A and B are shown apart, each in its own frame.
Chain A
Amino acid sequence: MTGQPPTGDNVVNEGDRASNATERAPDDKSALDRPLETSPEESAGEVEERVQASTTGSISAPTDADEVDLNLDTEERHHAIELLAAVEFGERLAKGETLLEVKDLQKWFPIRAGFIRHTVAHVKAVDGLNFAVEKGETFAIVGESGCGKSTTGRAILQLEKPTGGEVIFNHATLGKIDLVQASRKDLKTVRPNMQIIFQDPFSSLDGRMTVGRIIAEPLVINSKLRGRALKDRIAELLTVVGMRPEHASRYPHAFSGGQRQRLGIARALALNPEMIICDEAVSALDVSVQAQVLNLLEKLQTELGLTYIFISHDLSVVEHISDHVAVMYVGKIAEIARTEDLFKRPRHPYSEALLSAVPKPDPKNRSEPKILVGDVPSPANPPSGCYFHTRCPYAQDICSTDSPPLRDVGDGHMAACHFAEELQLEGVTAVAQMAFEVPTRPLPGSPYAQGGRLAGTGSRRGG
């Protein structure tokens, strides 16, 4: 192989692999628990490809059978959505009602030292958060790594027991209930209404369970669905996220990152929740796939009336998807506002710095970002006064002594800065919109544009 230059087309023992796969196919078929029959219109070829894909390790061949359905307006999907929306685990709230209220939420992790492991200090990962989330909106939490945004998400779900404060969830039957103080029984009633999608689609799905079992797990625990009805629900859920019911019999390794993230979404949707926490849900995906998943999340929100708490460090994604944004810095909220307001005119110097640091996809707009000096302070040993004063370009004497409270600076815009009113901070300017379209057919001027589909193949070079 070394001496002989490879041809441009990479055809290497394609036949070998195909025959290999078909030989092994019968075994594997019986080994997999196939909860769904193959639909009659499926050709033998598609089955073969699927089997091949599931036998050959981490392969997600880009076959049509595998391709995620981008058209989310198919009839089957509408039907599946209707079925899913009809599922009631308790009553639903009306849009606009307050779904979640977080009051003085606190999560301190102890630092232990010495022989008897006594607590010497605390890492104040989350330190006194206050915010409210409305039903049907997307509430984003942004900040640098280590600012406590993921801990906030986990503390809301009671995955980490908060060390203080209240998380009041407005449950349709139980009414407003404080999850921090709630009994186990009440928590179990509320939990189906709050789900989470994790960042890493590779580690958040159990590699030893089929997709069908992964999605069935919450249903088996929280509902009485069994047998045929359970399989039907799994099929619906897969359709809802743009995958195919046949995928239920495969294992997660057979899917690409974007497809796995869809499976994570399907699992989160299984109980038709009120609220989903998306913890960096699109950060690990390739750009082209990220757009697919974002579109799916938005579509599901309008269809099912979902509420998202969207935790992310990517500000352009946040601007696209969210209604309200909270900017966190060292366990505290620096600013909360409606997304447009915050991006247009931030009131906290930290928000300004974050916004200006985002690399804009426009080579003619190479503005010098407002570079923050130094690093994020440690939440175990935060600075005095305003935590941001060590890096703030506008800091005054008062900033190092007095901690500014989060206060309304007009029109529901909250900021924790002594000078929120005085400072004229810069927001983002819109990045030039693309003046070009993705071609969907040969463009005018293309050698293939005029005449029939293949016309001009022989003579186009002359013209």
Chain B
Amino acid sequence: MAEVASPASPAAVDDRENPGEPVYRVTEDESVIDVKELYVEFPTTLGVVRALNGVNYRVPRGKVLGVVGESGSGKSVTARAIMQIIEKPGRIASGKIDFRAGRRTDQEERDSNRPKKAPKKVTAEIVNLAELDPQSDEMRSIRGEEIAMIFQEPMTSLNPLYTIGNQIEEGIKLHQTDDKAEAKRRAVDILQRVGMPNPERIHGLYPHELSGGMRQRAMIAMALSCRPTMLIADEPTTALDVTTEAQILELMRQLQRDTGMSIIFITHSMGVVAQICDDVVVMYLGRIVERASVEELFYNPKHPYTISLLRSIPRFGMDKGEPLEVIRGSVPDPYSRVPGCSFHPRCPAAMPGICDVIVPVEAPIGADGHGVRCHLYEGCTPEGAQPAAAAADPQKRRFGRAAKKGV
């Protein structure tokens, strides 16, 4: 078992010539965040839940990276790992998260204005966030100021006891200025930039006095108040109506253009991905199964999971009465461990003896950084891996037993 899995383990990837290495569209220098072989686990009484099984991705500077996947695929956990806010008892088991704060022209000027109680700034050009203590000054100076996050539920992520203005100013006062009047001026300014009518008034309102779309705007304002290098948006429009969703997407697109920040956009909606993202990674059960530019992904998907996902969404102008494409079964529960390719129990093209035994590695498909992890494609079966000699009967796939056979 161990030898079969080894190509996906961190040790094997250090070798740049390794065929199983992830495929990127951007070089390391062009990325803001470089997630390398990230493993996150949650030890529970029922066993260890491996939420991430070696995730690699780069967030290109000034671009929008979409992270798509169904619930339980690990897309939110990856974002929380970057922010170092994984819920207990979860922890980063191994891997690196390299963050490049990059060039910020007004850095010195703003530094001079920093409040005395501000957390110590990280000066190194590249910081490995996975190594930082979540409670440390370094992490605190990055969280909120360099990397900001917006969440799905604006009502639960805003504090009902403080006014909107208060909550926005909190970050500004912590990171940027001691001057209360200046903090208020900036808060009102940012409220205006996120399209709030009458920002002065909104500044003094409590969250319950705003509608869902307004609250999400307030969240965005809070996230942008310190002008972060990177914004993580975790399903920011899922709880909103279509009309509000369109407003928020347009706002984020415009803010991204104006500030040039990078965005990780986590969503399960293929429509939203198509509308806002530049690059996309598709996740399934804690692994990235495919990555490509957004056009490549929608017009030339390769992984059976991506293809099935795209074909299972109802689209305008479809033939009436034609049944939708379905993926059989559902996402396995986090405690079960699927040997081989994690998608094989649901995959229509699963090959017994291969897919249920060998973990596929990533290989490039065509040009322009399109990477896929599926035994159907050349280079995805790790060198030296042996398919099970007695191929399992396709009708009787049993994970526990298949795993034992592999040993």
Contacts and interface: CB of A to CB of B under 8 A. Distances in A.
Contacts of A358: 242, 271, 316
A371 B250 contact: yes
Contacts of B31: none
Given A62-B338, A288-B70, A461-B383, A453 B391 contact: yes
Centre residue among A145, A287, A443, A447 by max chain B CB count within 10 A: A287
A150 to B, nearest CB: 14
A6 B94 contact: yes
Interface residues of B, number: 111
Nearest to A364: B295
A11 B403 contact: yes
Given A287-B270, A446-B376, A62 B298 contact: no
A61 interface: yes
A313 B337 contact: no
Interface string B376-407: 11110101001100010000111111010000
Nearest to B250: A371
A315 B70 CA distance: 20
Nearest to B267: A359
B348 A14 contact: no
A366 B294 CA distance: 12
Interface stretch (B21-29, B140-148, B225-233, B321-329): B321-329
A359 B396 contact: no
A291 B329 CA distance: 11
Contact of B321 (A17, A58, A298): A298
Contacts of B275: 359-360, 363, 366
In this complex, the interface size class of chain A, counting residues with CB under 8 Å from chain B, is 35 or more
B298 A362 contact: yes
A313 B242 contact: yes
Chain A contact residues, majority secondary structure = loop
B175 to A, nearest CB: 31
B108 to A, nearest CB: 38
B300 interface: yes
Contacts of B212: 145
Interface in A288-323: 288-292, 294-295, 298-299, 313, 315-317, 319-321
B332 A61 contact: yes
Interface centre among B46, B94, B246, B379 (most CB of A within 10 A): B246
Nearest to B4: A9
Interface in B105-136: none
B353 A453 contact: yes
Contacts of B376: 439, 442-443, 446-448
**A-B residue pairs, 5 tightest by C-beta:** A430-B317, A8-B8, A359-B271, A320-B314, A62-B332
26 contacts: A1-B43, A5-B9, A5-B39, A12-B47, A16-B47, A59-B335, A60-B330, A60-B333, A62-B332, A62-B346, A287-B268, A287-B270, A288-B309, A315-B242, A316-B313, A320-B324, A321-B314, A353-B243, A356-B246, A359-B249, A361-B298, A435-B299, A439-B304, A439-B376, A454-B387, A460-B378
Interface of B: 1-2, 4-11, 39, 41, 43, 46-48, 50, 53-54, 70-71, 91, 93-94, 197, 211-214, 241-247, 249-250, 268-275, 277, 294-295, 298-301, 304, 307-318, 320-321, 323-333, 335-340, 345-346, 348-349, 351-354, 359, 375-379, 381, 383, 386-387, 391, 396-401, 403
